[in-house]
């Protein structure tokens, strides 16, 4: 048995192999197929480890549910004989466990990905899973910050009074960079000091490359921070903490949470809100949708179109506030 598990682990080069092989409620055949699927996502589709972990977690949750649902070890034949009612029971159980509709959408997408993989190998058909309706999601529009709020915030003389001057320079440079470029927080924190230039090539979600052009203000503030930083960051990550280690997104959002209370910022003020604000403000000032799509690194134009809905919503609010019949 030990030798058999080692063979499974060695056959498929997947960082999650040991976790999957340890699951006793799955047949060895199904374990092997899971490993092949995850490895295909990693190698051919170039998914990040973070995405792979999410997919693995979703499919494991699904298979664990089936194990309890049927009261037996899960085989490939189990998946071949599933009915729509089995998928509905799984999604209902997740809701009962407190999972959100958005989480259910992602988990169903993960299950469909695995089933598509099995279908390509002619191991099952997709009729049943494709008949499962996608859970409805509430319309959640991005919440940008107002222009004057951002301007005032990124131009503060200091954020935390006890911070060394170089930390203030760092935070100001980071917040300015996020708003000036629309970068995702993890993209910004992955930058190396050697990347800083008028134009920066970055790799975003789905390994999609795009070129970011730094406005003079952003470049000036980055250079000021680099000059004032007491740590040797010339050959390492650009944004570092007081110990000289790379900053993480959770640290930035934690600081922003405290700053919200200190400066009475909106509740939705977060690192990602700078990206929303970047896109919304560009469109409000006449930028075309395709250009904003490229700047954000969106694969699909539909992902960028949500910001036109935000703009329409803002126009509606102005109309309601300004029309004579609405003025009390």
CATH superfamily of the domain spanning 147-322: Intergrase catalytic core (1.10.443.10)
DSSP 169-193: HHHHHHHHHHHHH---HHHHHT-BG
First to last CA, the chain: 78
Task: Give domain limits for the chain.
Answer: 2-130, 147-322
pLDDT of residue 86: 93
CA separation, residue 274 to residues 143, 149, 323 (Å): 10, 11, 31
Q: What is the mean pLDDT of each run of 10 residues along the chain (328 residues)?
A: 42 55 80 90 80 86 92 92 92 88 85 92 88 73 84 93 95 95 92 91 79 90 96 94 92 91 87 88 79 77 63 48 48
Would you state the pLDDT for residue 14? 52
Q: How confident is the model at residue 305, as a pLDDT?
A: 63
For residue range 64-97, list pLDDT tens digits in order. 999 999 999 999 999 999 999 999 999 999 988 8
Q: Output the pLDDT for position 18.
A: 61
The residues carrying an active-site annotation are 184, 205, 272, 275, 298, 307
Would you list the DSSP string of 136-164? P-------PPPHHHHHHHHT-S-SSTTS-
């Amino acid at each position: 048995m030990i030798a058999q598990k080692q063979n499974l682990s060695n056959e498929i080069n997947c960082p999650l192999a040991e976790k999957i092989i340890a699951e006793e409620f799955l047949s060895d055949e199904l374990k092997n197929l899971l490993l092949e699927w995850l490895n295909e996502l990693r190698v051919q589709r170039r998914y990040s480890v973070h995405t792979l972990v999410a997919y693995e977690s979703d499919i494991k949750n699904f298979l664990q549910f089936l194990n309890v649902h049927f009261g037996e070890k899960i085989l490939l034949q189990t998946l071949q004989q599933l009915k729509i009612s089995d998928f509905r029971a799984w999604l209902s159980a997740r809701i009962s466990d407190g999972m959100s509709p958005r989480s259910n959408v992602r988990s169903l997408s993960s299950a469909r990905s695995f089933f598509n993989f099995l279908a390509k190998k002619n191991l099952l058909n997709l009729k049943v899973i494709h008949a499962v309706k996608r859970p409805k999601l509430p319309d959640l529009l991005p919440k940008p910050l107002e222009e004057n709020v951002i301007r005032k915030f990124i131009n503060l003389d200091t954020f935390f009074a006890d911070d060394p001057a170089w930390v203030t320079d760092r935070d100001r440079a980071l917040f300015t960079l996020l708003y000036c470029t629309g970068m995702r927080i993890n993209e910004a924190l992955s930058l190396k000091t050697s990347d800083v230039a008028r134009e920066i090539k970055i790799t975003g979600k789905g390994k999609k490359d795009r070129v970011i052009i730094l406005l003079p203000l952003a470049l000036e503030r980055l250079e000021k921070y680099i000059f004032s930083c007491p740590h040797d960051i010339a050959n390492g990550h650009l944004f570092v903490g007081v110990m000289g280690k790379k900053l993480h997104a959770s640290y930035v959002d934690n600081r922003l949470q405290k700053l919200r209370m200190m400066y009475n910022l909106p509740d939705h003020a977060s690192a990602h809100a700078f990206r929303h604000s970047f896109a919304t403000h560009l469109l409000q000032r006449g930028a075309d949708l395709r250009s904003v799509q490229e700047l954000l690194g969106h694969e699909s134009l539909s992902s960028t179109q949500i910001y036109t809905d935000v703009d329409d919503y803002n126009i509606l609010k102005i109309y309601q506030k300004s029309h004579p019949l609405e003025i009390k």
